[in-house]
Structures are given as C-alpha cells and as structure tokens.
Amino acid sequence: MPRLHRFANPMRFARLSKAVLPWMAVLTILLIGTGLYWALLASPADYQQKDSVRIMYVHVPAAWMGLFIYVSMAVSSAAGLIWRHPLADIAAKSCAPIGAGFTLVALVTGALWGQPMWGTWWVWDGRLTSMLILLFLYLGYMALWQAYDEPGKASRAAAILALVGVINVPIIHFSVEWWNTLHQPASVFKVGGPSIDPSMLWPLLVMALGFTTYFVVVLLWRMRAEILARRIHVLMMQQAAS
C-alpha cells in the first residue's frame, strides 16, 4: 500500500486531475453526441417496439452505470476502512450523488419505456424493486455523511452501509433469472454473445462509454471540490484555534 499512498497524495491528485479533466470532458461530449445521433436518428426502429425502443439507449447504460458506480463506491469504502487510503473516502463520497442520478434516470426511463410495452408505469417485480432499493441505498449513504459532524465517523458509518448494500448488486443482475418478471433478460452480456442486432448494439455501447467518461469527469470534479472544501475547513479551524 505505500506505493498506492504515494499516488494518492491529494496535491498530486489535484495536479493530475486538472490535466486530465479537459480531455475527458471533450471525449465525453464527442461520445455522447455521437451516441445520441446514432441512437435517435441512424439506428433502425424495432419491428415490435417501433421508435419507443430508442429509450433503451439511455435506460440501459444508465442502469449499468448505477450498478458500476455502486461497486466503485463499495470498493473505495473498503479501501478507506481497511487501509486508510488518503483519497478513498473522498472518492466514495463523490461517487454517491452521481450513482444516485444514474439510478434515478434508469428508473424514470424504465417507467417511460414500460408504459407502452407493458401497459403500466411500474410493477413490483424483482428487477425494478431491487433497482429502487439501490436508489435508497445511495440516498441513505449520502444521508449518513450529513448526519455526523466529524468526517471520520461519517466515513466509517457510510462505508459500512455501502459494503452491506453491495449484496443488492448481484440480486439486481440475477433477478430476471431467479424470479418471474416482466423485465426482459440480458441481451448484451450473456453466454453465447449478445442477442441484440449490431445496428442497435454499437450505439448502445457508444452511449455506455460516453456515460462512463461522464462519470469520470464528474467524479474528478467532485473529488477536487471535496479536497478544496476540506482544506478550507482545516484552515478555518486553525484560524479559530489561534
């Protein structure tokens, strides 16, 4: 861990992230712009769902990101608890609002997609219910950070919740196989390869990559802001003590 601590120096992180952010922002704009054009205009309509299938290009990547970010938050929380990694709790704290946003987008777009397909905005099946629980876990994690004045206690309490809640991630993934559900099974990451047509698969993957780079941009920005806020807090405490 000493090597990791060397690279996790807050000042070194601030310099590196400042250099990376503009390039990642440009890449994000290009990927999401290309993905939206490809998804909304260039890709074909589904033979059954017609143009309503285009909601998939936002809904599916948002759902993927909700799961990916939660796992990232849990890993960062574990690093903070076990190894006292200098930036781990900052990274975990910064992940939560982004993951909550993606999860909310997945739930809203899922409702918009489900109404014309299923005839209802919501059903209490395994996939939808476990995704709603994921949103509540994000909100609970953020609430714990606000419930304590001392950052050390807040980070420990929030980390424990993140690690306990990670059990929900495989439940979400396998829910369509474990229970009867209206939600369709996996069509991209499955044994035997994707079952979705390449004309729809490629714009879907471009959008997913664009969402991923967007996550990196916002994560770096939020981490830089959190480091600055903590430095200001320390300076104010020192000034008050003197």
Which tens digit of pLDDT belongs to each residue from 46-92? 878 888 899 999 999 999 999 999 999 999 999 999 988 879 999 99
- Lowest-pLDDT choice from 88-97, 128-137, 196-205, 217-226: 196-205
Q: 73: closest CA among 16, 126, 144, 150?
A: 144
CA distance 167 to 220: 26
Q: What mean pLDDT is predicted for residues 141-169?
A: 94
Q: 137: closest CA among 113, 110, 171?
A: 171
Is residue 130 predicted with pLDDT exceeding 70?
yes
Among positive and negative, which fits the CA dihedral 91, 172, 54, 195?
positive
- Mean pLDDT score across all residues of the chain: 90
Length of the chain: 242
Domain assignment present for 224: yes
Domain count, the chain: 1
Q: What mean pLDDT is predicted for residues 144-169?
A: 94
Domain assignment present for 45: no
Q: Where are the alpha helices (DSSP H) in 125-197?
A: 126-147, 151-165, 168-178
Which tens digit of pLDDT belongs to each residue from 81-123? 998 887 999 999 999 999 999 999 999 999 999 888 888 888 8
Domain assignment present for 12: no
Domain assignment present for 78: yes
Is residue 180 predicted with pLDDT exceeding 90?
no
CA angle 212, 92, 29 (to 5 degrees): 25
Q: What mean pLDDT is predicted for residues 119-136?
A: 93
**pTM for the complete prediction?**
0.91
pLDDT at 186: 67
Domain assignment present for 19: no
Domain assignment present for 7: no
CA angle 9, 11, 13 (to 5 degrees): 65
**Cα pseudo-dihedral 47, 52, 54, 55, rounded to 10:** -140
Domain assignment present for 28: no
pLDDT at 7: 54
Q: Which domain holds residue 83?
A: 55-181+196-241
- How far is the CA of 20 from the CAs of 12, 48, 154, in angstroms? 12, 43, 29
Domain assignment present for 86: yes
Quote the percentage of the chain above a pLDDT of 90.
64
- Lowest-pLDDT choice from 23-37, 62-76, 183-197: 183-197
pLDDT band at 1 (very low <50, low <70, confident <90, very high): very low
